[in-house]
Amino acid sequence: MAILLFCSGNAWALNKVTVTAATGGATISADATGGSYTNLTGPIAAESAAGNIGAGTIIFVPPSGFVFNPGVTVTVQITAGSGTAANNINHIALNGTFNAFVAADGSSITTTITNASSSANTIQWQNIQVRPTAGAPLATGNITTNGVGTSGLNNLTYNNGTGNWGTLTEVVGATSKMIVTLGNQTFTSGTGNSGSVTNQTAGTSFNIPKLTATDQFTNTATGYSGSKTITWSGPGGNPTYTTTVSFTSGQSTTTLATTLTKAETVNITATDGTLTAVPSSPLTVNPGTFANLQALVPGESSAPGTATGQTGSPSTQTAGVSFTVTVNAVDANFNVINTNDTIHITSSDSAAVLPANAALVAGTKTFTVTLKTTSSQTVSASDVTHPGIPTDASDAIPLNAASAALVRVETAANGSGTIVPAQNVVVGNSLTVYSISRDAFSNFVANVAADSWFLTNVTLGVVGGDLVAAGDSKSATFTAHAAGSANVHAPSGSLTATDSGTLTVTNANTTTTLVSSTNPAAFGQNVTFTATVAAVSPAVGTPSGTVTFKDGATTLGTGNLSSGQATFGTSSLSVAGHSITAVYGGDTSFNTSTSATLTQTINKANTLTAVGSSANPSVSGQSVTFTATVSATGGGSGTPTGTVTFKDGTTALATNSLSAGQATYATAALSTAAHSITAVYNGDGNFNTSTNSPALTQNVNQAGSTTALSSSTNPTVFGQAVVFTATVTANSPGSGTPTGTVTFKDGASSLSTNALSGGTVSYTNSTLTAASHSITAVYNGDSNFSTSTSGTVTQTVGQASTTAALTSSTNPTVFGQSVTFTATVTAVSPGAGTPTGTVTFSDGGTPLATNALSNGQVTYATSALSVASHSITAVYNGDNNFITSTSGTVTQTVNQASTTIAVASSANPSVFGQSVTFTATVSAVAPGSGTRTGTVQFYIDGSPFGGPVSLSGGTANSSATSSLSVAGHTVTAAYSGDSNFSGSDNTGSPLNQTVNAASTTTVLASSTNPTVFGQSVTFTATITVVSPGSGTPSGTVTFKDGGSTIGFGSLSSGQATLSTSALSVSAHSITAVYNGDGNFGTSTSGTVTQTVNKANSSTAVASSANPSVSGQSVTFTATVTASAPGAGTPTGTV
């Protein structure tokens, strides 16, 4: 071969054409078959020296399975070469293009090189479009020149190392179908299923081994993976399934268990709801094993594979008319199986005409059946050959009656009754009967009108008029008027008639009820008994005759019935409970009856008692006689006997006997008072007790009295006990010993009221105040003696001595802790009692408080003692009854109180640059309390923050800081303590102050908008900090055109700029993205739409020889330049 070498200086280079393969053909969808084309970029051919691409043709051939688009213009662009067109291939200006030719069938692209370059060129093919010729199998291959072109391409070198001008690969199209692969089948991508399908049995579970997601050409969709909800089903009586199925690379990895119930040939489909369900290969489902018989009657059809195996419902048949029953031998899902077993037919109708046993033919047989009994009946089929096969009963068959043949006298109009049976009919009762027509099988037809109604076999008092036909002659009513018997006859046309049973008329039963006019009644009171006799249903009428009234077995009397009632009156019943009955004797139409027993209660009669006095009022000791008179009342009668008890209030005085209704009682022992005298009659066998009301008031007047008083000790001191004794005697003419109470008084004030005993009473007192007291005793009288007052006794009482004791509730204490001092003051014997007044508590010589005694004690609580030892005393200041005293000294020790300190932040978390203040709160530890003074030192991350800060109200605030870095900071505080409180810090539980990056906003501006192509534009991004953050952000800003980065800028004083003149002619969506720094978060500006318009241009023309001579070659050169502010090199044609 010939190799051309060109030398440039001392360097030698090989002549060659370097090919950069076309791109964009790596993933061409099979869906593009016969449709849209894919646009390729390139290929590119680059000469290393002028003329490496020789004149002639370069012919591109697509790989098998692809074609080029003949409907577009493919161009070839000079992308590198001379600025002089004459030096370039086909004399095309730099960046200019010439056309290539696409064969009409897309089988090739031909590029014609008419002029080789005189300066090394690079050419790029543009607008080459390809598509697959078939969806399957998937094609792949390279675009080649295959040596068919005539252009000399020196030493072709391929950048991709594959020796081609571009690789085309057809890939699976969009997932669109779901393929079902059945047992014994194999699925192949691009072709589908192969192999014969394994038959299945109805009702037997089998597995669907594979589901495959494919494109429209059955290529496996390998990208279809994960968990999918799949629904698969067959037609007719077969179920639909929905379950979760796992897919890997387009194929299922989950076994799908399926059960088909209908024997048939089916196609199974599956889908996830979005993919087309492709029917499977035909699947033959055979019947299962013989499991049941199926009996189908007219109106029903077989429905194999369904839950019930049949559709429809039995049609109505007529008694005595035959019809056919179809019996099938079926599997568990009602598919007919092939057998010739012998079948036996039975029915729920015991009168049915049934066929003889017969053999099935190919699993089915039709039998003829005649039913005779109306209502719903069933027909059953059983297997004689195989008794283990379950008997099948048909659904209930409605059956109508045949034509009427009989007429009968029955008990119900609707045919639900029977022939009227022989029965008794009570006098006064009625019985309605009906003429009923029935068919030859005794099935009810209608309630028909009888030709006539009459009685037969009539006896005794029954007459023909006892039977009355209804207006429509369909019924008649028999009424019993007198004893006897008969049968009812009701013929109708030619129908065979049946009479009723014998109706026998009988007497009616009765009931007797008994009531009393007064129950209970009093002894001697008149009582009337009333008996009511009535017929027992269903009998009617009013009984007559007599009623006998009895007390137990003893007859009291009789009464004649009038309108069903009889009465008997008496007042001679004794005091007791009497069992009264009424016995009805019956008459010619009504039977006898006896009432239930009525218990008549006769109670004692009530009484009235009156009392009188022989002398009223009387004086103490005078004799008085009381007389009581008792009489019957309240309807009772007679003279009471027995006794009367005389009472003074509730106290019985005496019980005396009545004589002719009266009793008396005499006494001289009544006390001086008003006495409520009653006489209580105690009753006897026939009369109740009674008491006179109102009571008799007997008045007895009082006697006079004298009182004397003495003292056991005089004088005494306060609290010392003294006994005063009072003696009370009766004044003549009174006598006896006075009772009641004596009131002891100090001047006009009552001291005590005590009860007399044997005429004397004592009173002990230890509470008289220190003074002279005028003591008297006042007798308060009793029911028999009047009041009296003693002479005055002067009792002298002096003050008592005291002692004081002091205690502390807590010792030692801490500052601010409350301590209670208790002083107890007691009397010194013989003095007694509880001192009152006040106690003064002192610390050394300084009084602390003066508090009042309560029950001899007083307390003083304080939390104000300073840190020191204190000498505490209590001085009792005395009162009217007690002299003063002073306690011993209690030394109270007070120590410093402990403290705790807590730190809080004004903002936590905060952001960078935000001002933060810390507050320390110093608290006293219980039981200490009070106001803390002194200072607090703050620390941030272990280093002092500012100087010590004085406490105010127990808190201290640090100075503000906005210089905390973005991080977590530990904040502590130390309290210095003071004379009353010890120091403390919070190092054990410090405050964790979190400082986050501050938020920012980005604002973007354009220096010039719109611009023209090539014009420089500067974009300025300004970054500001969002409050409460502060400071100046640093870092970088990314400038973007849509989603593409066009440059970066560093922040300076919060701003970053980017200048560019490379924006293409269009509208550009420019944004600025601040990327943040250690202290500030990212942010993105709003979009600035930068419009770039075409730049203006100017064209200048020059001649290579001007002037020229005839025949001389002249070259004209047109130079096109951009007009300011536009820039760049124009392309295109001139």
Tokens representing 374?
């109306």
pLDDT grade, residue 199 (50/70/90)?
very high
Mean pLDDT of all residues in 1098-1103: 85
Residue-wise pLDDT tens digits, 850-897: 999 999 999 999 998 999 999 999 999 999 999 999 999 999 999 999
Tokens representing 795?
């009792």
* Separation of alpha carbons 996 and 42, rounded Å: 52
Say what percent of the chain tops pLDDT 90: 70
Instruction: Based on the fold, state whether residues 687 and 714 are members of the same structural domain.
Output: no
SS3 content of the chain, % helix, strand, coil (to 5): 0, 50, 45
Question: Number of helices (H) and strands (E), helices first, in the chain?
Answer: 0, 107
Mean pLDDT of all residues in 668-689: 87
Instruction: Based on the fold, state whether residues 132 and 23 are members of the same structural domain.
Output: yes
Domain with residue 519: its CATH number is 2.60.40.10
What DSSP designation does 801 have? P
Return the pLDDT at 437.
Answer: 92
Quote the pTM value.
0.42
Of 684, 700, 716, the last residue of a domain is 700
Q: Which residue has the tokens 């403390």?
A: 984
How many beta carbons lie within 10 A of that of residue 301, not counting itself? 9
Of 482, 506, 530, the last residue of a domain is 506
Tokens representing 902?
């807590």
Decide if pLDDT at 899 tops 70: yes
Residue-wise pLDDT tens digits, 744-763: 999 999 999 999 999 999 99
Structural contact between residues 2 and 17, judged by C-beta atoms closer than 8 angstroms: no
Domain count for the chain, please give it. 11
Return the pLDDT at 239.
Answer: 60
The continuous run of DSSP H or E covering 405 comes out as strand 404-410
Mean pLDDT of all residues in 797-811: 92
Instruction: Based on the fold, state whether residues 580 and 714 are members of the same structural domain.
Output: no
pLDDT grade, residue 185 (50/70/90)?
very high
Instruction: Based on the fold, state whether residues 148 and 191 are members of the same structural domain.
Output: no
Return the pLDDT at 744.
Answer: 95
User: What values do phi and psi take at 748, rounded to 5?
Assistant: -95, -5
Return the pLDDT at 717.
Answer: 85
Q: Which residues of 632-647 are buried (b: 16+ CB within 10 A; e: fewer)?
A: beeebeeebbbbbbbb
Of 891, 925, 951, the last residue of a domain is 891
**Residue 952 CB partners (closer than 8 Å, separation 6+):** none
Return the pLDDT at 375.
Answer: 83
How many beta carbons lie within 10 A of that of residue 850, not counting itself? 15
Domain with residue 413: its CATH number is 2.60.40
CA angle 278/284/290 to nearest 5° reads: 140
Residue-wise pLDDT tens digits, 583-619: 999 887 788 999 999 999 988 888 899 999 988 887 6
Return the pLDDT at 6.
Answer: 33
Say what percent of the chain tops pLDDT 70: 96
Which of 899, 741, 882 has the alpha carbon at shortest distance from 825? 882
Query: Which domain does 384 fall in, by range?
Result: 292-400
Instruction: Based on the fold, state whether residues 33 and 164 are members of the same structural domain.
Output: yes
Decide if pLDDT at 1 tops 50: no
* Mean of the per-residue pLDDT values of the chain: 90
User: What values do phi and psi take at 538, rounded to 5?
Assistant: -90, 10
Sheet holding 269-271, edge to edge: 269-271, 226-233, 240-248, 251-252, 210-214, 177-181, 276-277
Q: What is the 3-state secondary structure (H, E, C) of 563-629?
A: CCEEEEEECCCCCEEEEEEEEECCCCCECCEECCCEEEEEECEEEEEEEEECCCCEECCCCEEEEEE
Lowest mean pLDDT among 294-303, 562-571, 671-680, 1104-1113: 1104-1113
Instruction: Based on the fold, state whether residues 830 and 940 are members of the same structural domain.
Output: no
Mean pLDDT of all residues in 368-386: 94
Instruction: Based on the fold, state whether residues 393 and 487 are members of the same structural domain.
Output: no
* Separation of alpha carbons 710 and 723, rounded Å: 8
CA distances from 374 to 222, 418, 445 (A): 70, 16, 10
Instruction: Based on the fold, state whether residues 692 and 763 are members of the same structural domain.
Output: no
Instruction: Based on the fold, state whether residues 754 and 714 are members of the same structural domain.
Output: yes
Instruction: Based on the fold, state whether residues 696 and 711 are members of the same structural domain.
Output: no
Instruction: Based on the fold, state whether residues 424 and 345 are members of the same structural domain.
Output: no
What DSSP designation does 1086 have? P
Decide if pLDDT at 78 tops 90: yes
Return the pLDDT at 146.
Answer: 63
Which of 1046, 1075, 1042, 1041 has the alpha carbon at shortest distance from 1059? 1046
Instruction: Based on the fold, state whether residues 31 and 149 are members of the same structural domain.
Output: yes
